[in-house]
Amino acid sequence: MRRDVAITGLGVISAIGLSADEFHRQIMAGACGIKPAPWPSAIDGLQPWWGTIGGFVPRDWMDEKIEDGTDLFAQFTLAATEQAVRQSGLGTLDPLRTGIVFGSSIGGARALMKAQHMLDKEGPKAIPRKTEIQIYPNMAASQIAMRYGLHGPSLTLTTACAASLDALGNASLLIESGKADVVIAGGTDGGLSLSDGSADGDFVPATFYTSTLYGMVAPSTDPRRAMLPFDVKRSGIVVGEGSAMLVLERGDQARARGAKIFGYLRGYGNLADGHHPSSPEPSGKWEARAMALALQDAGLAPTDVDALIAHATGTPKGDTAEIRAINQVHGKGRSAPLPVAGMKGHVGHSGASSGAMALVTGLLGMQEGRFLAMANTDEPDPEAEFEIVIKQPKRLDLRALQVNAFGFGGQNASIVATRD
């Protein structure tokens, strides 16, 4: 019997929209939220870019006390969660039967960096007194529990850029096992912006420069050429941020109460690449196995999948390994090439939230019969034995969707969602 986990609520805070619907509309319109950063380059002559969130007002989503006691990542999470819970129509959540599974790469690292900055600049008394409770990665899940009065399972995963897909996969397992009826799940990373998307005085988060110093940033003077997933000219990433949170619940419960169901989470695969701290195993064989495990878990064959949203970071090594992995799983035995796209060209690499953000736009596209296109990509890598969707969204009767997320340290995750 296949897993019966319905998705009934979606919430997004992103560089191109502060709701799931707006995020998806902008994706389908080909929007690019990559902008010049206000800080100088780490390398002379290299234009710094960021995919940061503008227009976010924490007080729209929380009171002054909570805003004061949380870092950006938790604030984004609370806003996206509130959207998803409202949309689910669940009303009062059962405190003992509602769980939380949350993923983040760096949690409140921004708060820690800023505290160090204030210490160096002005001394110990300048450190914000709530720094201690701002920095822990589990504080986003804890804030969700406190807001809704929840006492069910609560887990925080730090599996790098795979974290939100791992959160969703583990949430589905909690429901399947009977340990929860509803789980709020997703992921967030946020460490760049103020609420208006500007620089934060003379404070510059060190994480803004880490990708550049590690040689992962494209030398571009055009925001639409700064991140080129699966393009032959790809050369690096743009650091982004954002949150995507979803409400998952028992399928029978969702159908019984007449909930709008955006799709079903049917399969989940996770494993370790075991190869290198930042580079995937070049053949893509372990990424391919994670994808195959997700399909097996869903009880589907590769030919049952109608489209795939790739991790697609725009790095030469990362994209090459993923292209080879998709070729191994989906490149043969199909009557037509599998449509594949990614969403990082639209918003930059939003870290742990990226997998869940991809699933949100995939589910909304499933509802309207359209599949997103790769933003900015115009010369698809010829090694791909599948269709890299570019230029504009593709009309598609989308019944089964696969989503990949592959993180540093060889954290490989893949999920499968279906319309019915």
pLDDT tens for each residue of 117-132: 999 999 999 999 999 9
Mean pLDDT, rounded, for 253-268: 98
One-letter amino acid of 228: L
**Secondary structure tally for the chain: helices H, strands E:** 13, 15
Average per-residue pLDDT for the chain: 94
Q: How sure is the predictor about 21, in pLDDT bands with cuts at 50, 70 and 90?
A: very high
User: Residues 80-134: pLDDT tens digits?
Assistant: 999 999 999 999 999 999 999 999 999 999 999 999 999 999 999 999 999 999 9
Contacts with 74 (C-beta within 8 Å, 6 or more apart), sequence order: 108, 134, 139, 140, 143, 188
Q: Dmax of the chain from CA atoms?
A: 67
DSSP H or E run through 187: strand 182-189
Output Rg (C-alpha) for the chain, integer angstroms.
Answer: 20
**What domains does the chain contain, in order, with CATH numbers?**
5-256 (3.40.47.10), 265-418 (3.40.47.10)
The answer to whether residue 193 scores a pLDDT higher than 80 is: no
pLDDT at 197: 53
The answer to whether 341 and 388 have CB atoms below 8 angstroms apart is yes
Determine the pLDDT at residue 194.
61
Phi first, then psi, for residue 77 (nearest 5°) are -65, -45
Round to whole Å and give the CA distance between 12 and 109. Answer: 21
Could you tell me which residues are beta bridge partners of residue 12?
244
Distance CA 410, CA 9 (A): 30
Q: Which of 337, 333, 328, 342 is nearest to 404 (CA)?
A: 342
Q: With CA atoms as reference, report the closest residue to 5 among 262, 190, 338, 278.
A: 262
Instruction: Indicate the SS3 state at residue 76.
Output: helix
Percentage of the chain beyond pLDDT 90 is: 85
DSSP letter assigned to residue 48: P
For residue 167, which amino acid is it? A
pTM tops 0.85, yes or no: yes
- Tokens of residue 401, six digits: 């969707």
For residue 60, give Cα distances in angstroms to 57, 68, 75.
6, 14, 10
Q: Could you tell me if 6 and 250 are in contact, meaning their C-beta atoms sit under 8 angstroms apart?
A: yes
Q: Please name the amino acid found at residue 404.
A: N
Please tell me the predicted confidence (pLDDT) of residue 388. 98
First to last CA, the chain: 14
| pLDDT band at 198; cut points 50, 70, 90 | low
- pLDDT on residue 203: 84
Expressed in percent and rounded to 5, the helix, strand and coil fractions of the chain are 35, 20, 40
What's the pLDDT score for residue 49? Answer: 87
49-71 as b/e, with b when 16 or more CB fall inside 10 Å?
A: bbbbbeebebeebbeeebbebbb
Q: What is the DSSP string of 142-164?
A: HHHHHHHT--S-EEEE--GGGHH
Q: Which residues contact 368 (CB under 8 A, 6 or more apart)?
A: none
Look at residue 136 and tell me whether its pLDDT is greater than 70. yes
pLDDT of residue 28: 98
Average pLDDT over residues 32-40: 86
